[in-house]
Structure 1
Amino acid sequence: MSQHPVQPFEAVAPRLVDIAAGRAPADLVVRNGRWVNVHSGEILANTDVAVAAGRFAYCGPDAGYTVGPKTVVVEADGRYLVPGLCDAHMHVESGMVTVTEFCRAVIPHGTTSMFVDPHEIANVLGLAGVRLMHDEALAQPVNVWVQMPSCVPSAPGLEEAGASLGPADVAEAMTWPGIIGLGEVMNFPGVAANDPVMAGAIAATRRSGKTVGGHYASPDLGRAFHAYVAGGPEDDHEGTRMEDAAARVRQGMKAMLRLGSAWYDVAEQIRAVTEMRLDPRHFILCTDDCHSGTLVRDGHMNRVVRHAIAQGLPPVTAIQMATLNTAEHFGLQREVGSITPGRRADFLLVSNLSDLSIDAVFARGERLAEDGRLVIDMPAHAYPPEAKATVRLGRRLEAADFAVDAPAGAGEGVTARVIGVVENQAPTRALVRTLRVSDGLVQPDREQDVCHIALVERHRASGAVVNGFVSGFGYRARCAMASTVAHDSHHMLVVGTDREEMARAANRLGAVGGGVVFMQDGEERALIEMPIAGLMSEERAEVVAEKADRLIAAMREAGCQLNNAYMQHSLLALVVIPALRISDRGIVDSERFEVVDLFV
């Protein structure tokens, strides 16, 4: 971990002044770089920067006068000096690893600031779980700020999570040192209806002077949208269309454009800047959800910035959207987001700006990574026993638990509601399919690409199972996948073509304490153990990435060709995003926010 935690500006300001005035030497000087100035939008050649106490003291044409006998001098040799990248909205748990392991994975990719919403662990362990991740975040060598989860459960009345949080919990968390604001307010109908719990959480955040995160997952830009904005959320990452981004910015919100492992929402929305010519300073880039395989191999915020540049944004503009814009949104522009005096010395040495080729990563004035590899030691973080053993099934599950009884008088076929997966997007479709009845049971249909889906209650050992149908995975084999990552209430979610395989997968996860498992033809083809709240592994990110590769390979071998199908699987219980979902209460119409019958 960092040997030099960043000190408050006021504690080191006199030293920064002395260095800039030539009365004291710097700790670090970087010479002859091309300064990517996100304030002015310029790239300034032949620039030096001087650093002391983890902060920038001088940025200009010649810092030679700040070099003393003990000053470390780094030659930029004409490479770009880029501010450390910021991820404005993300969930560590989606990486399947702890905060420490997530940081180990993303630091070499240039991420030096993250704004994390731990609402996944909150749905399992409540406020205690948030505190565990908050405290781990404070120990990192980069900046990890935490947004207090706002909706636990995400939709009261439509699901029951492992915990429940209210305005009093929000008010308490606002006093913690690492809390930066309120996490995405997903209960958008509640905000629009002046629900007292939602209004109370937002009010507690505003009283603390912190930022309220948004989540308006509806294409309706009419009265419901305007009521939601009036309720206080200040940003939104759920847009998928150009008009979504424009509408948010016009209402004073920040449009957060996400590129995660399975969400590809930047290209369409960035047209609000490249075609509509809206002010780019009100657009922010983020990832939302990235699994470990993406982090280890493809990158993190550098991947998002690269993608934005490929859509036609000037490189400096794309970098602004991942640095200064983010910092200003959270009121941290005096701390991070730019290479300017007084700010934390978080910066990158980049040899090619368009593809963001990162040669070295510095945070708080320390070199953390070089040529894509960490150069510091980051010991693993241990979670206490109470954060584990959270998968409580109550009994051994059987194939009969996953059977769907046909309604009376069904005959040889029934018309059923089917959840339709949409590749690379979080929303689903509400499909209707005619399914065959055999021996009184409704059967899945491989020809129509319809599988069984089941949600197994895992917080209270009730043994309850809710069954339905899903389309879009393309499975052709006798298989099943079970996961205790099932946003947001994180019960166990099982999808399969065969009930025996579904029972086998569910029981396997119960035995290992959670994670993801894929079964085919009676054999375990892939397993990622996640004993921490059933959401995170205790292993290194590289190990988890290798296991994730085996999972994806097993899914493909069984016929699934979806991009990052695991993440599509994990969202099938997310009742706050349209159109059709499954919860412990039944099949949920997420446009009307009500439980509906499985059969039409």
Structure 2
Amino acid sequence: MSETVRTWAETAPRLVAVAAGRVPADLVIRGASWVNVHSREVLARHDIAIAEGRFAYCGPDAGHCIGPSTEVVEADGLFAIPGLCDGHMHIESGMLTPAEFARAVIPHGTTTMFVDPHEIANVLGLRGVRLMHDEALMQPVNIFTQMPSCAPSAPGLETTGFAITAADVAEAMTWPGIIGLGEMMNFPGVVAGDAQMLAEIAATQAAGKTVGGHYASPDLGTAFHAYAAGGPADDHEGTQEADAIARVRQGMRAMLRLGSAWYDVEAQITAVTQRGLDPRNFILCTDDCHSGTLVHEGHMNRVVRHAIACGCDPLIALQMATVNTATHFGLERELGSIAPGRRADVVLTSDLKTLPILQVIARGRTVALNGEIQVDCPHLDWPADTRATVHLGMPKIETDFEIPAPEGANTVTAKVIGVVENQAPTKALTARLPVVDGVVEGDGGVCQIALVERHQGTGKVVNGFVSGFGYQGRMAIASTVAHDSHHMIVVGTSRVDMAAAANRLAKVGGGVTVWKDGREIALVELPVAGLMSDSPAAEVAAKAQAMVRAMADCGCTLNNAYMQHSLLALVVIPELRISDLGLVDVTRFELTDLFEDKT
């Protein structure tokens, strides 16, 4: 059954009556240290009265709001902070459906999420977005959907299962849970004045909604200014202080992310902590968090703690995860603070720095207590065809992963995708590689990568090289999570194991599998679109953690290496990527040859 939120207009008569003491509240929190993110102060021994799922009274004494049936929560000095908001994220990256993602993050104090389901858009198109949107609206917390803007993310450089059009964007803007346009990843298109990109932005702005940004380039010159003129209102791709400063100076919100593998807060928050820029234009987000992080480390509470550890004032960090986010999406009067009329989303904690989450109230009812979920998170009945999306054509064999050398060559200089720990960008490297029986082999930390087409069953395999994972011995890892086109990425040192891993994922309908010495040592099944599981988060997290351990058993030493693996086909983030069309030079946005010389 869908969760409904009554509007302020529908509830206003009772809210006023409760605040005036004429009728009792549904719930009153007594004696809390009220963290007011509007005035940036902590008000000791204050009461908070809630009615109809909204705050009615916030003040020194709510005794006049208490009746015989009013539920009273004795805070005894605990801090009452607004429910935490994630300003930019992809549910699919958690390997979970919206219902299970909500179940995982609610105990961590997240009560609002702004989600971009462009992962499923690449696999199932507008229909997939609608399914995500519909399940999101069923949840006991606020999940707002941004309509994906770029599928494919870079036309001409990759092929997706479905393409998103400007007409799709215009249609989605009429759906009840759509809050804006998802990250505009095709930044070269915007800079060049691409008609479709500008039409999508125009349709969003005409609907009075927010346009998400994604400027994944270190160039802060003319191209950046052209992108800003194209309409994106925020950006989460900054990796250094200058990026954050440039964005806010152009009227954009700088979104600072801490995901499972992206550690971009520390390098940018100095714009506030040291340079003294106005913190109202800074927002904290996660972008991508896998299930293991959610279950074992947290969600937005983890990001806020990290920002504080990086020197940010706790109250400012909380503003960046609450009212700043709500204001950015035009929802300041609806959520993001503890103030009359807003949705009654509040978290009780004993410490503002370490942020233990003791009780979570969403829309006026307790949804989590001492780390345990207290409510149901309803599921959609996902259609059968959404669980049958891995089409390889013929089963893969060892020779599909061979890289023929130029005739007569004994060695080659190959272009190599260089993984950078804890960052989304890669490096465009080169390596001198040996040729054995006419086939180029990996060497010295360089292993193979393959992009296996899985949407149309064409049987196509594009091969290349990658370094930085540290894999040793005979191994392979395959994943149908392959941002953003979500074909299948296979990385390995053994072509036999690479073929076995690819075939295994075709059999189970998608996910992640790790092979070593000819046998499977870890498997995470992701049957929904090859991206998500509707199993409980703890079960998926356990399998994901086993997968991480299996990668380490194969020699990998990177932090959250799976997240790095899943982005190797993301052809809108520099410098070098792989797609179903070939190797992509993202600094030039063009396909490039695998070999530099052939002697």
TM-score (norm 2): 0.99
**Deviation per residue, 1:209-228 (Å, 9 max, x gap):** 00000000000000000000
Q: Which moved more, 1:89-98 or 1:380-389?
A: 380-389
Check whether the contact 1:309–1:318 (CA below 8 A) recurs between aligned residues.
yes
Using the TM superposition, give the Cα deviation of residue 380 of structure 1 relative to its aligned residue in structure 2, in angstroms.
4.3
* CA deviation vs aligned residue, 1:404-435 (integer Å, no higher than 9, x gap): 0001232x210000000000000000001000
Q: Tell me what 2:501 maps to.
A: 505
* 1:568 and 2:567 correspond: no
Q: Distance in 2 between matches of 1:489 and 1:375?
A: 37
Partner residue, 1:581: 577
State which of 447, 453, 456 in structure 2 corresponds to 1:451.
Answer: 447
SS of 1:357's partner is coil
2:540 corresponds, among 538, 544, 567, to 544
Q: 1:423 aligned to 412, 421, 424, which one?
A: 421
Deviations 1:253-289 (A, max 9, x none): 0000000000000000001111111011100000000
User: How far off is 1:126 after superposition?
Assistant: 0.2
Work out the CA distance in 2 between the residues paired with 1:321 and 1:126.
32
Task: Choose 507-516 or 369-378, whichever is displaced more.
Answer: 369-378
CA contact (8 A) 1:98 1:381 kept: no
Alignment counterpart, residue 529 of structure 2, candidates 533, 551, 555:
533
Whole-angstrom distance in 1 between the partners of 2:330 and 2:377 = 29
* Counterpart contact for 1:181–1:212, Cα < 8 Å: yes
Residue number in structure 2 paired with 1:395 = 394
**Structure 2 unaligned spans of 5+:** none
Partner of 2:220: 221
SS in 2 for 1:177: coil
Q: Percent identity?
A: 68
Q: Given that residues 49 and 56 in structure 1 are in contact (C-alpha distance below 8 angstroms), is that contact kept between their aligned partners in structure 2?
A: yes
Aligned pair count reads 596
Contact 1:82 1:349 in 2 (8 A): yes
Distance 1:41 1:352 in 2: 16
- Partner residue, 2:513: 517
Q: CA deviation at 1:437?
A: 0.4
Letter in 1 for 2:500: R
Please say which of residues 378-387 and 181-190 is displaced more in the overlay.
Answer: 378-387
Match of 2:156 in 1: 157
Q: Which amino acid aligns with 1:284?
A: I
Within a 5 Å distance, the mapping from 1:110-129 to structure 2 comes to: 110-129=109-128
**Contact 2:138–2:377 under 8 Å retained in 1:** no
What corresponds to 1:487 in structure 2? 483
Structure 1 equivalent of residue 16 of structure 2: 17
Question: Aligned partners of 1:549 and 1:169: how far apart in 2?
Answer: 37
Question: CA offsets per residue over residues 148-180 of structure 1, 9 Å max, x none?
Answer: 000000000000100001110000000000000
Other-structure match for 2:327: 328
Deviations 1:230-258 (A, max 9, x none): 00000000000000000000000000000
For the residue of structure 1 that corresponds to 2:429, the secondary structure is strand
Residue 473 (structure 1) aligns with? 469
User: 2: distance between equivalents of 1:56 and 1:348?
Assistant: 13
Q: Which whole-Å CA distance do the structure 2 matches of 1:30 and 1:538 have between them?
A: 35
Distance 1:247 1:531 in 2: 41
Q: Structure 2: how far apart are the matches of 1:208 and 1:404?
A: 50
Cα distance in 1 for residues equivalent to 2:247 and 2:95: 31
**Deviation at residue 379 of structure 1 after TM alignment:** 4.6
Counterpart in 1 of 2:233? 234
Task: Report the Cα distance in structure 1 between the residues aligned to 2:555 and 2:354, rounded to whole angstroms.
Answer: 34
Q: Distance in 2 between matches of 1:69 and 1:95?
A: 43
Taking the aligned partners of 2:346 and 2:455, their CA distance within structure 1 comes to 43
Q: Which runs of 4+ in 1 moved over 6 A?
A: none
Q: Structure 2 matches for 1:48-67, cutoff 5 A? A: 48-67=47-66
Instruction: Deviation per CA, 1:535-579: give whole Å up to 9, x if none.
Output: 001211100000011101111011001001111000000000000
Q: Distance in 2 between matches of 1:287 and 1:352?
A: 22
Contact 2:139 2:378 survives alignment (8 Å): no
In structure 1, what is the Cα distance between the partners aligned to 2:365 and 2:17?
Answer: 21
Distance 1:305 1:532 in 2: 31
Task: Read off the aligned partner of 2:422 and give its amino acid letter.
Answer: N
Q: Output the CA distance in 1 between the equivalents of 2:539 and 2:14.
A: 44
Residue segments in structure 1 that go unaligned for 5+ positions in a row: none
